[in-house]
Amino acid sequence: MKIRKTKISDLKQIHRLVNDFARKEQMIPRSLSELYETVRDFIVCEIDGTVCGVCALHIMWEDLAEIRSLAVDGGFQNRGIGKALVKKCLGEAKSLGLKRIFALTYHPDFFKKLGFVDVDKATLPQKIWGDCLRCPRFPECDEHAIIKYL
């Protein structure tokens, strides 16, 4: 298992993986164009040349970033890949001097095991008026907002 920064050649695999979860309404879909524009946000897990997991650290403000697009291929789940991806993003956030990292998730217990705590979505206006408006579930979102203070 290798966790690494994304390469341009990974983006079509990332696009497929993220949008497989988006079709199940578990995350916001991402276009290839958007992935190219934000390629530096992403890290991947590669096993035997296959991208089997992806996660992004997206800077929102001077002290705030979001963990987004965390997806692990079904055949590779329950192997610690998601945890390794999030930990890598947290390490990068710390090295950048960020103070707060949040995520919107249907799996809050996963994040709570990594030190995240519940937070009111109203404290995250940058997110709500950005990506959330594109979500088919807005404004009736049932995702949990969680945050980690570094």
Indicate the domain borders of the chain: 2-149
150/141 Cα distance (integer angstroms)? 27
CA angle 128/145/14 to nearest 5° reads 80
55-68 as b/e, with b when 16 or more CB fall inside 10 Å?
bbbbebeeebbbbb
**What does the block give as tokens for 113?**
């095991």
pLDDT at 127: 56
Q: Give the architecture-level CATH label for domain 2-149.
A: 3-Layer(aba) Sandwich (3.40)
Q: What is the pLDDT of residues 35-56, one digit of tens each?
A: 999 999 999 999 999 999 999 9
pTM score: 0.90
Q: Which residues pair with 88 in a beta bridge?
A: none
Question: What share of the chain has pLDDT > 70, as a percent?
Answer: 89
DSSP state at residue 57? E
State yes or no: pLDDT of 61 exceeds 80.
yes
Q: What does the pLDDT average to over 50-69?
A: 94
The chain-wide mean pLDDT, for the chain, equals: 90
